[in-house]
Amino acid sequence: MAPPPPSPSMAPPGLIHSAPGLQDTCALLPSPPAAVGSRMSGPATDTPSAIQICRIMRPDDANVAGNVHGGTILKMIEEAGAIISTRHCNSQNGERCVAALARVERTDFLSPMCIGEVAHVSAEITYTSKHSVEVQVNVMSENILTGTKRLTNKATLWYVPLSLKNVDKVLEVPPVVYSRQEQEEEGRKRYEAQKLERMETKWRNGDIVQPVLNPEPNTVSYSQSSLIHLVGPSDCTLHGFVHGGVTMKLMDEVAGIVAARHCKTNIVTASVDAINFHDKIRKGCVITISGRMTFTSNKSMEIEVLVDADPVVDNSQKRYRAASAFFTYVSLSQEGKPLPVPQLVPETEDEKKRFEEGKGRYLQMKAKRQGHAEPQP
């Protein structure tokens, strides 16, 4: 896929601002592709409305087939979003804050990224409400031997500014200035839609994944998996709660294990439905990331991932649901060609209900893609 032409809406070339842990960060970059078509400027400050980070993909970023883990890319997307939204929220005089991830809209993995390629992650602020920031992110993969680039990911993230003095306090966001009135109206519609979806998802998150002894192959119980992780300082912001990108990477790892157990082949992330962050995860918590198969089509499988946090050092707080999402994976041959997916066998009434819900999401997204003339995974 040819890279899109550069947009005049982005800031001029300049220093890349990267989060801790990013390796091989370049010093200067050309203007990245814009997430929106028309120019939108920020407040009357020197704060840029767009940034780009990049780094080369290494063997520990990828699976055994050399494809970069979806979780690695999601983590880079979140880092770029956190940088630009935190910078914007501190662009005016007032109480200092840090931007925390609240939601990631559906993310499609349009093309695989491989070891040795350079990921270019471009982030741009596209809307602000009173208490939230919308950031749109594009990911380009560059073959540094040939110079060719291709679009691999597009994502929309929502952040909220939390006070440094009290991380439970949400502050107001400085407004942005739109070049067209339609931009603000379109952004407001996206804001209202994601707010409603996030609340609906939170109320649906009462169930948990229970282990089953001696499950039959191709059943939900056979492939379901859990990962238990103690949240340490390296997982957290300087203010003691977990980076959203760290959580998303762990979620992708668990979903990948579920998919591999079901197919017993090489698998790759095809897309991620909206990831909702319902509550912050603090340093010292034990988190349980659970994944279970919910639906299979001929060539794809949907996995529900739930993140529960247990504040073991705080007796005043009980275990709670911190995040949830649906991941879609495809099965690949050794040559990288799509393989048929073994059909899921739902056993209980709850599993059958989740299967039908997953089928509905699959058909809805399939119709949407065909309406936009996009290729099917």
**Which residues belong to the active site?**
63, 252
Task: Estimate the crossing angle of helix 244-263 against helix 70-89, to 10 degrees.
Answer: 160
Residue 162, CA distances (Å) to 176, 202, 237, 324 in order: 19, 20, 12, 21
CA atoms in the 13 A half-sphere facing the CB of 194: 26
For residue 103, what are its two tokens? 């939601």
Residue 230, CA distances (Å) to 129, 175, 310, 315 in order: 34, 38, 10, 17
Amino acid (one-letter) located at 249 = K
Q: In this structure, what is the dihedral angle of CA atoms 88, 94, 97, 103, given to the nearest 10 degrees? A: -50
Q: CB under 8 Å to 346, separation ≥6 — which residues?
A: 219, 220, 352, 354, 355
Any bridge partners for residue 326, and if so which?
304
Asked whether 121 and 139 are in contact (CB, 8 A), the reply is yes
For residue 133, what are its two tokens? 């920031």
